[in-house]
Amino acid sequence: MSARRFEGQAVIVTGAGQGIGRGVALALAREGARLVLADRSAIVEEVAAEVRELGATGVVARGDLETWEGATELNDIAIAAFGRVDVLINNVGGTIWVQPYEEYKPEQIEAEIRRSLFPTLWCCRAVLPHMVKRKQGVIVNVSSVATRGIYRIPYSAAKGGVNALTASLAMEHAQDGIRINAVATGGTEAPPRKVPRNAQPLNEQEQRWYQGIVDQTKASSLMQRYGTIAEQVNAILFLASDESSYITGSVLPVGGGDQG
């Protein structure tokens, strides 16, 4: 296996400011990628600095990928910087509220879908014309095994949409030399978020619901544990690389045996 699988490739990583996205960005930098680091938070500038310390190129694109305008601007930044997009890794998403479905307000349901489905929809739509024209490209969508889980049903539905999008786009664009896959992440140990998805601290009831998610996640994993960021990153980079050249339209569960 080459240690420089992405030498010279232009790669977009969304949600690059922290967690799995940051881990993906740093791993790609070590393997020679030229990166566009997308996030709506200023913390992505810190990741860009880390990328440059590794000797790689890191261009920052700050914007709201829940909108079509944000996604098209991201694609434009990548084309302006590198002239092409070889790989798109869609990593934006994450549940905002933790509660039984009947507790969700209509506006919360809509916000969850916007957060965890629309950035992937919009970014795929933005980069595909360029990839089709070049007759090559790779897209890796970050999904979740929480398509079967409790207390975050809108998030589960959004990630189910990501899985369907992945399968259907792969069927549509295999003829164009484009591979599209997804990694369904399981529970993942990560440092505390620098920018929380929900600025409101959990009350006692919400803490019990959150603990219910943790318990269910570990119980659903055959390994009875959370994974590491590195374990998720390894799977994402595999699907983004030529090592998976005969794989498309697949959703790879990385949840210790939990198939989602």
CA dihedral sign of residues 27, 187, 120, 49: negative
User: Which of the following is catalytic: 104, 151, 155, 226?
Assistant: 155
Question: Residue 146 gets which letter from DSSP?
Answer: G
Strand partners, 12: 36, 88
| Residue 36 · residue 59 · CB < 8 Å | yes
Cβ neighbors of 220 (< 8 A, separation 6 or more) are 145, 148, 149, 255, 258
| Residue 238 · residue 244 · CB < 8 Å | yes
Closest CA to 166 of 96, 219, 239: 239
Angle at 36 between CA 30 and CA 38, to 5 degrees: 115
Q: Tokens for 199, please give them.
A: 């600025």
Question: Residue 220 gets which letter from DSSP?
Answer: H
Q: Tokens for 89, please give them.
A: 């890794």
| Residue 122 · residue 70 · CB < 8 Å | yes
Is 101 a residue of the active site?
no
Closest CA to 181 of 169, 172, 194, 189: 169
Q: Return the active site residues.
A: 155
